[in-house]
Chain A
Amino acid sequence: MRQGGRLRLVALLAWLAAPVYAETHVVTIDRMSYHLSASEVRVGDTIKWINKDPVLHTATSDAGDFDVILGAGETARTALTSAGRLDVICSYHPGMRMVLVVN
Protein backbone atom coordinates (compact mmCIF):
# COMPACT_ATOMS: atom_id res chain seq x y z
CA MET A 1 0.00 0.00 0.00
CA ARG A 2 1.32 3.46 -0.82
CA GLN A 3 1.99 5.92 1.98
CA GLY A 4 -0.99 8.11 0.98
CA GLY A 5 -3.27 5.08 1.05
CA ARG A 6 -1.89 3.97 4.41
CA LEU A 7 -2.51 7.42 5.88
CA ARG A 8 -6.09 7.37 4.61
CA LEU A 9 -6.60 3.93 6.14
CA VAL A 10 -5.25 5.12 9.50
CA ALA A 11 -7.55 8.15 9.36
CA LEU A 12 -10.53 5.94 8.56
CA LEU A 13 -9.73 3.56 11.43
CA ALA A 14 -9.30 6.50 13.80
CA TRP A 15 -12.69 7.90 12.77
CA LEU A 16 -14.38 4.53 13.24
CA ALA A 17 -12.81 4.11 16.67
CA ALA A 18 -13.68 7.63 17.86
CA PRO A 19 -16.06 7.60 20.88
CA VAL A 20 -19.76 8.64 20.30
CA TYR A 21 -20.62 11.00 23.10
CA ALA A 22 -23.97 10.40 24.84
CA GLU A 23 -26.34 13.35 24.74
CA THR A 24 -29.08 14.61 27.01
CA HIS A 25 -32.38 15.49 25.35
CA VAL A 26 -35.03 17.55 27.10
CA VAL A 27 -38.69 16.54 27.04
CA THR A 28 -40.89 19.29 28.39
CA ILE A 29 -44.36 18.46 29.65
CA ASP A 30 -46.50 21.51 29.04
CA ARG A 31 -50.28 21.92 28.69
CA MET A 32 -50.84 18.16 28.81
CA SER A 33 -48.37 17.28 26.03
CA TYR A 34 -44.84 15.92 25.80
CA HIS A 35 -42.49 18.14 23.76
CA LEU A 36 -39.21 16.59 22.59
CA SER A 37 -36.75 19.02 21.07
CA ALA A 38 -34.30 16.48 19.62
CA SER A 39 -34.62 15.10 16.12
CA GLU A 40 -32.57 11.99 16.85
CA VAL A 41 -32.22 9.97 20.02
CA ARG A 42 -29.66 7.16 20.45
CA VAL A 43 -28.97 4.29 22.83
CA GLY A 44 -26.87 5.67 25.66
CA ASP A 45 -28.54 9.08 25.52
CA THR A 46 -30.44 10.48 28.48
CA ILE A 47 -33.88 12.04 28.52
CA LYS A 48 -34.35 14.91 30.95
CA TRP A 49 -38.07 15.27 31.77
CA ILE A 50 -39.30 18.69 32.88
CA ASN A 51 -42.89 19.04 34.11
CA LYS A 52 -44.04 22.60 33.51
CA ASP A 53 -47.69 21.83 34.26
CA PRO A 54 -49.26 22.53 37.66
CA VAL A 55 -50.39 18.91 37.99
CA LEU A 56 -48.80 15.51 38.62
CA HIS A 57 -47.80 13.54 35.50
CA THR A 58 -45.89 10.38 34.71
CA ALA A 59 -43.66 9.39 31.79
CA THR A 60 -44.31 5.67 31.54
CA SER A 61 -42.87 3.43 28.87
CA ASP A 62 -45.27 0.78 27.61
CA ALA A 63 -42.33 -1.62 27.31
CA GLY A 64 -41.72 -1.31 31.03
CA ASP A 65 -38.32 0.35 30.60
CA PHE A 66 -39.15 3.31 32.81
CA ASP A 67 -41.92 4.81 34.91
CA VAL A 68 -41.10 8.32 36.06
CA ILE A 69 -43.40 10.30 38.32
CA LEU A 70 -43.13 14.08 38.06
CA GLY A 71 -44.78 16.58 40.38
CA ALA A 72 -45.45 20.11 39.20
CA GLY A 73 -42.14 21.80 38.38
CA GLU A 74 -40.13 18.61 38.92
CA THR A 75 -37.43 17.14 36.68
CA ALA A 76 -36.10 13.62 36.30
CA ARG A 77 -33.65 11.74 34.08
CA THR A 78 -33.95 8.45 32.22
CA ALA A 79 -31.06 6.65 30.54
CA LEU A 80 -32.02 4.98 27.26
CA THR A 81 -30.42 1.55 27.29
CA SER A 82 -32.02 -0.20 24.33
CA ALA A 83 -32.95 0.66 20.77
CA GLY A 84 -36.47 0.55 19.41
CA ARG A 85 -39.76 2.39 19.42
CA LEU A 86 -41.16 3.31 22.81
CA ASP A 87 -44.70 4.51 23.43
CA VAL A 88 -44.61 6.88 26.39
CA ILE A 89 -47.85 7.67 28.24
CA CYS A 90 -49.00 9.48 31.33
CA SER A 91 -50.61 7.04 33.77
CA TYR A 92 -52.99 9.73 35.01
CA HIS A 93 -53.97 11.33 31.70
CA PRO A 94 -54.68 8.73 28.97
CA GLY A 95 -54.68 11.32 26.20
CA MET A 96 -51.03 12.21 26.82
CA ARG A 97 -48.78 10.14 24.56
CA MET A 98 -45.43 10.37 22.84
CA VAL A 99 -43.48 8.06 20.57
CA LEU A 100 -39.75 7.85 21.26
CA VAL A 101 -37.63 6.21 18.57
CA VAL A 102 -34.27 5.20 19.99
CA ASN A 103 -31.62 4.44 17.37
Chain B
Amino acid sequence: MTRTLALLILLLTSNAWAAAPAAPDDAQIAHIAYTAGQLDIDAARQALDKTTDPAVRAFAQTMLRDHTAVNEQAMALLTKLKVTPQNNPTSQALSKSAAETLARQSALSGGEFDRAYVVSEAAYHQQVNDALRTVLIPGAQNAELKALLEAGLALFSEHQKHAEALAAEQAP
Protein backbone atom coordinates (compact mmCIF):
# COMPACT_ATOMS: atom_id res chain seq x y z
CA MET B 1 0.00 0.00 0.00
CA THR B 2 2.66 2.35 1.05
CA ARG B 3 4.66 2.34 -2.17
CA THR B 4 1.68 2.81 -4.48
CA LEU B 5 0.18 5.63 -2.44
CA ALA B 6 3.53 7.31 -1.90
CA LEU B 7 4.17 7.24 -5.66
CA LEU B 8 0.80 8.76 -6.43
CA ILE B 9 1.30 11.51 -3.88
CA LEU B 10 4.73 12.20 -5.41
CA LEU B 11 3.18 12.42 -8.88
CA LEU B 12 0.42 14.72 -7.69
CA THR B 13 2.79 17.07 -5.89
CA SER B 14 5.56 17.17 -8.48
CA ASN B 15 5.58 19.57 -11.43
CA ALA B 16 8.62 17.93 -12.99
CA TRP B 17 6.82 14.86 -14.29
CA ALA B 18 5.28 15.61 -17.71
CA ALA B 19 3.00 12.57 -17.53
CA ALA B 20 1.76 13.41 -14.02
CA PRO B 21 -2.01 13.43 -13.56
CA ALA B 22 -3.59 16.85 -13.01
CA ALA B 23 -4.09 17.94 -9.42
CA PRO B 24 -7.42 16.59 -8.11
CA ASP B 25 -10.45 18.88 -8.15
CA ASP B 26 -12.96 19.18 -5.29
CA ALA B 27 -15.05 16.22 -6.47
CA GLN B 28 -11.99 13.98 -6.58
CA ILE B 29 -10.61 15.37 -3.30
CA ALA B 30 -13.93 14.59 -1.63
CA HIS B 31 -13.83 11.05 -3.06
CA ILE B 32 -10.27 10.49 -1.81
CA ALA B 33 -11.08 11.75 1.71
CA TYR B 34 -14.29 9.72 1.92
CA THR B 35 -12.57 6.58 0.59
CA ALA B 36 -9.72 6.97 3.08
CA GLY B 37 -12.25 7.09 5.91
CA GLN B 38 -14.27 4.15 4.62
CA LEU B 39 -11.17 1.98 4.26
CA ASP B 40 -10.25 2.64 7.89
CA ILE B 41 -13.76 1.67 8.90
CA ASP B 42 -13.30 -1.63 7.05
CA ALA B 43 -9.96 -2.21 8.80
CA ALA B 44 -11.55 -1.46 12.18
CA ARG B 45 -14.30 -4.02 11.51
CA GLN B 46 -11.72 -6.68 10.76
CA ALA B 47 -9.88 -5.80 13.98
CA LEU B 48 -13.06 -5.97 16.04
CA ASP B 49 -13.70 -9.45 14.61
CA LYS B 50 -10.22 -10.67 15.46
CA THR B 51 -8.64 -8.90 18.42
CA THR B 52 -9.13 -9.69 22.10
CA ASP B 53 -6.64 -7.07 23.32
CA PRO B 54 -8.64 -4.38 25.16
CA ALA B 55 -6.40 -1.50 24.04
CA VAL B 56 -6.46 -2.58 20.38
CA ARG B 57 -10.22 -3.13 20.63
CA ALA B 58 -10.73 0.36 22.09
CA PHE B 59 -8.62 1.85 19.29
CA ALA B 60 -10.58 0.00 16.61
CA GLN B 61 -13.88 1.13 18.15
CA THR B 62 -12.65 4.73 18.08
CA MET B 63 -11.61 4.36 14.42
CA LEU B 64 -15.02 2.92 13.52
CA ARG B 65 -16.90 5.59 15.43
CA ASP B 66 -14.79 8.59 14.38
CA HIS B 67 -14.45 7.80 10.67
CA THR B 68 -18.16 7.00 10.43
CA ALA B 69 -19.01 10.36 12.02
CA VAL B 70 -16.62 12.33 9.80
CA ASN B 71 -17.81 10.57 6.64
CA GLU B 72 -21.42 11.34 7.57
CA GLN B 73 -20.46 14.98 8.03
CA ALA B 74 -18.62 14.92 4.69
CA MET B 75 -21.63 13.46 2.83
CA ALA B 76 -23.93 16.06 4.37
CA LEU B 77 -21.61 18.83 3.16
CA LEU B 78 -21.28 17.35 -0.32
CA THR B 79 -25.06 17.03 -0.57
CA LYS B 80 -25.42 20.66 0.47
CA LEU B 81 -22.77 21.73 -2.07
CA LYS B 82 -24.27 19.47 -4.75
CA VAL B 83 -20.87 17.88 -5.34
CA THR B 84 -20.78 14.25 -6.45
CA PRO B 85 -17.56 12.55 -5.33
CA GLN B 86 -15.61 11.43 -8.38
CA ASN B 87 -13.60 8.22 -8.49
CA ASN B 88 -9.95 8.69 -9.43
CA PRO B 89 -6.57 6.90 -9.52
CA THR B 90 -5.65 7.92 -5.96
CA SER B 91 -8.87 6.49 -4.50
CA GLN B 92 -8.32 3.35 -6.54
CA ALA B 93 -4.74 2.99 -5.33
CA LEU B 94 -5.86 3.45 -1.73
CA SER B 95 -8.58 0.82 -2.14
CA LYS B 96 -6.22 -1.66 -3.78
CA SER B 97 -3.62 -1.28 -1.05
CA ALA B 98 -6.20 -1.57 1.69
CA ALA B 99 -7.60 -4.76 0.17
CA GLU B 100 -4.09 -6.25 0.14
CA THR B 101 -3.60 -5.29 3.78
CA LEU B 102 -6.93 -6.82 4.82
CA ALA B 103 -6.10 -10.03 2.96
CA ARG B 104 -2.67 -10.25 4.55
CA GLN B 105 -4.04 -9.58 8.03
CA SER B 106 -6.94 -12.02 7.67
CA ALA B 107 -4.41 -14.85 7.87
CA LEU B 108 -3.09 -13.58 11.21
CA SER B 109 -4.40 -14.02 14.72
CA GLY B 110 -3.66 -13.11 18.33
CA GLY B 111 -0.65 -10.91 19.02
CA GLU B 112 0.57 -11.22 15.43
CA PHE B 113 -2.66 -9.72 14.12
CA ASP B 114 -2.66 -6.98 16.78
CA ARG B 115 0.88 -5.92 15.91
CA ALA B 116 0.22 -5.96 12.17
CA TYR B 117 -3.01 -3.97 12.59
CA VAL B 118 -1.63 -1.14 14.73
CA VAL B 119 1.56 -0.87 12.64
CA SER B 120 -0.43 -0.64 9.41
CA GLU B 121 -2.82 1.88 11.04
CA ALA B 122 0.11 4.10 12.06
CA ALA B 123 1.55 4.00 8.54
CA TYR B 124 -1.85 4.46 6.89
CA HIS B 125 -2.73 7.50 8.97
CA GLN B 126 0.68 9.04 8.36
CA GLN B 127 0.25 8.73 4.60
CA VAL B 128 -3.31 10.02 4.59
CA ASN B 129 -2.27 12.95 6.78
CA ASP B 130 0.66 13.73 4.47
CA ALA B 131 -1.74 13.70 1.51
CA LEU B 132 -4.14 16.00 3.38
CA ARG B 133 -1.36 18.47 4.17
CA THR B 134 0.37 18.51 0.81
CA VAL B 135 -2.37 17.84 -1.75
CA LEU B 136 -5.96 17.72 -0.52
CA ILE B 137 -6.17 20.76 1.77
CA PRO B 138 -4.08 23.09 -0.44
CA GLY B 139 -6.01 21.89 -3.51
CA ALA B 140 -9.53 22.25 -2.12
CA GLN B 141 -11.28 25.20 -3.74
CA ASN B 142 -14.46 25.28 -1.67
CA ALA B 143 -13.89 26.92 1.75
CA GLU B 144 -16.26 24.57 3.60
CA LEU B 145 -14.63 21.50 2.09
CA LYS B 146 -11.21 22.89 3.04
CA ALA B 147 -12.38 23.50 6.63
CA LEU B 148 -13.77 19.96 6.85
CA LEU B 149 -10.46 18.52 5.61
CA GLU B 150 -8.54 20.64 8.13
CA ALA B 151 -10.75 19.37 10.95
CA GLY B 152 -10.21 15.86 9.59
CA LEU B 153 -6.45 16.36 9.69
CA ALA B 154 -6.61 17.34 13.40
CA LEU B 155 -8.64 14.22 14.12
CA PHE B 156 -6.52 11.86 12.04
CA SER B 157 -3.30 13.28 13.51
CA GLU B 158 -4.56 12.16 16.93
CA HIS B 159 -5.41 8.75 15.42
CA GLN B 160 -1.88 8.53 14.04
CA LYS B 161 -0.32 9.26 17.44
CA HIS B 162 -2.66 6.77 19.11
CA ALA B 163 -1.70 4.05 16.60
CA GLU B 164 2.00 4.86 16.96
CA ALA B 165 1.78 4.59 20.75
CA LEU B 166 0.05 1.22 20.44
CA ALA B 167 2.59 0.04 17.87
CA ALA B 168 5.41 0.95 20.27
CA GLU B 169 3.71 -1.07 23.04
CA GLN B 170 3.01 -3.99 20.73
CA ALA B 171 6.63 -4.28 19.50
CA PRO B 172 7.74 -7.89 20.02
Contact = CB atoms under 8 A, between A and B. Distances in A.
Interface of A: 31-32, 53-56, 72, 92-96
B73 A93 contact: no
Contacts, number: 37
B157 A32 contact: yes
Given A32-B155, A93-B62, A54 B161 contact: no
28 contacts: A31-B155, A32-B157, A32-B158, A53-B151, A53-B155, A54-B69, A54-B70, A54-B73, A54-B155, A55-B65, A55-B66, A55-B69, A55-B70, A55-B155, A56-B65, A56-B66, A56-B69, A92-B58, A92-B65, A92-B66, A93-B62, A93-B158, A93-B162, A94-B161, A94-B162, A95-B161, A95-B162, A96-B158
**Size range of the interface on B?**
10 to 19
A63 to B, nearest CB: 21
Contacts of A92: 58, 62, 65-66
Interface string B56-67: 001000100110
Nearest to B150: A31
